[in-house]
């Protein structure tokens, strides 16, 4: 068990909650509370970003039993609301059992169910590798987080160029260029260290426990229960894949034996037609509202990664006023009729 100021616990959650993974990536859909001998960490990642906020434990807590548990995303609003109900200066106890994490306040307690054996990336090793790739002596400007959030409105994948220390950082996007000035006080930490090497040393003991040579591009997706094929969330890449699907299916149509009669022929025709329809719809949507098109592509990518599109389609059909059960029954009857016709055609003559 560890103790933390209620205000500080709320701050840990606020700093990391915006970076948690989606509901279809269960191992990352939440904030991981990780305790070692000196700190309580809040860790969040969506596989593309990784954030860690920490709180130095009270002297009496240091040397306690380490633990790490993922607080599921669905419970984070309730936890944050409960923390807000405590006086900011109140100390909250945090303890972990096999299947729950318990938060103890002055008058109330909150218990949240967790999966104790849920795999999580080696965040210490990942960040350790990244910090070791950076060479001291390069520009190390401090950027205001509130200003950085303003670039989200561009909707682009932005390239960043650090020009010189205490000088503007350049930002490039699709038909877009911008710059952001660093803040006046560039220091980090209680001693206001200004060099990268000095700031990195603040985390040396924490990150030393991580493995060597990890890479976010590969080691964030190594778990077997994570998506094996990552669907792109980029509009242009999605359009490219759709057009490739149309052209590949068109080739398969002409190369299929028993054209016009085989199920493979009909499958390739369907894939080509639906691929072309999807591309035209996406192109029209992107022309009319690029921002909305990006949001739709990202949402669809998450749904495809989840592997539950059959359930989504069933629910969408019902919401649109259709009868998916009737469709299912009619298609089952069609398959049975086709099988009966095949059997009759293959039976020997009387």
Q: Are residues 98 and 137 in the same domain?
A: no
Average pLDDT over residues 19-30: 87
Range 206-233 average pLDDT: 72
Query: What is the C-alpha separation between 331 and 337, in angstroms, rounded?
Result: 10
How many independent structural domains does the chain possess?
A: 3
Domain ranges, residue 77: 2-113
Domain identity same for 103 and 134: no
* 340 shares its domain with 312: yes
Q: What is the mean pLDDT of residues 322-344?
A: 87
User: Has residue 37 got a pLDDT over 70?
Assistant: yes
Q: Which of 62, 83, 113 is the last residue of a domain?
A: 113
Provide long-range contacts, Cβ within 8 A and 24+ apart, for 121-124: 121/45, 121/50, 121/219, 121/220, 122/210, 122/211, 122/214, 122/219, 123/32, 123/34, 123/43, 123/45, 123/50, 123/52, 123/210, 124/206, 124/207, 124/208, 124/209, 124/210, 124/211
- What pLDDT, on the 0 to 100 scale, is given for residue 350? 44
Residue 33 belongs to domain with CATH number: 3.10.150.10
Q: Identify whether residues 183 and 132 lie together within a single domain.
A: yes
Claim to verify: residue 29 and residue 108 sit in the same structural domain: yes
16/93 same-domain check: yes
Kindly state the average pLDDT of the residues 93-107.
92
Q: What average pLDDT does this structure show over 250-259?
A: 79
**pTM value?**
0.70
Answer yes or no: is pLDDT of 346 > 90: no
Please indicate, yes or no, if residue 173 is contained in any of the structural domains: yes
For residue 211, is it within any domain?
no
Does the pLDDT at position 221 exceed 60? no
- Distance, CA of 63 to CA of 57 (rounded, Å): 10
Element (H, E) at 207: helix 204-207
- Name the domain boundary from 132, 166, 190: 190
**How do residues 117-173 score in pLDDT, each as one tens digit?**
888 999 999 999 888 886 656 778 888 888 888 888 776 678 888 888 778 889 888
Determine the average pLDDT of the residues in 23-47: 90
């Amino acid at each position: 068990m560890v103790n933390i100021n209620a205000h500080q616990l709320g701050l840990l959650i606020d700093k990391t909650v915006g970076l948690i993974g989606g509901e279809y990536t269960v191992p990352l859909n939440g904030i991981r509370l990780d305790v070692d001998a000196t700190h309580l960490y809040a860790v969040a990642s969506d596989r593309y970003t990784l954030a860690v906020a920490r709180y130095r434990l009270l002297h009496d807590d240091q040397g306690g039993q380490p633990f790490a548990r993922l607080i599921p995303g669905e419970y984070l609003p309730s936890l944050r609301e409960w923390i807000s109900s405590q006086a900011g200066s109140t100390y909250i106890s945090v303890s972990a059992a096999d299947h729950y994490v318990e938060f103890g306040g002055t008058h109330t307690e909150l218990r949240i169910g967790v999966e104790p054996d849920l795999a999580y990336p080696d965040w210490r090793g990942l960040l350790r590798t990244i910090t070791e790739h950076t060479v001291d002596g390069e520009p190390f400007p401090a950027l205001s987080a509130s200003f950085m959030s303003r670039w989200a409105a561009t909707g682009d994948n932005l390239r960043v160029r650090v020009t010189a220390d205490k000088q503007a950082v350049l930002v490039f996007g699709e038909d877009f260029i911008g710059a952001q000035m660093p803040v006046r006080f560039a220091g980090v930490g209680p001693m206001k260290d200004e060099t990268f090497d000095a700031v990195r040393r603040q985390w040396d003991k924490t990150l030393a426990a991580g493995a060597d040579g990890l890479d976010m591009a590969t080691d964030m997706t190594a778990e077997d229960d994570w998506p094996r094929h990552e669907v792109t969330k980029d509009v242009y890449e999605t359009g490219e894949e759709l057009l490739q699907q149309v052209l590949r299916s068109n080739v398969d149509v002409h190369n299929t034996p028993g054209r016009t009669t085989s199920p493979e022929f009909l499958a390739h025709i369907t894939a080509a037609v639906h691929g072309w329809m999807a591309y035209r719809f996406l192109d029209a949507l992107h022309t009319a509202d690029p921002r909305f098109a990006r949001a739709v592509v990202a949402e669809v990518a998450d749904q495809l990664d989840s592997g539950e599109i059959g359930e989504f389609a069933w629910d969408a059909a019902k919401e649109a006023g259709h009868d998916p059960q009737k469709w299912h029954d009619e298609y089952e009857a069609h398959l049975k009729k086709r099988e009966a016709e095949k059997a009759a055609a293959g039976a020997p003559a009387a």
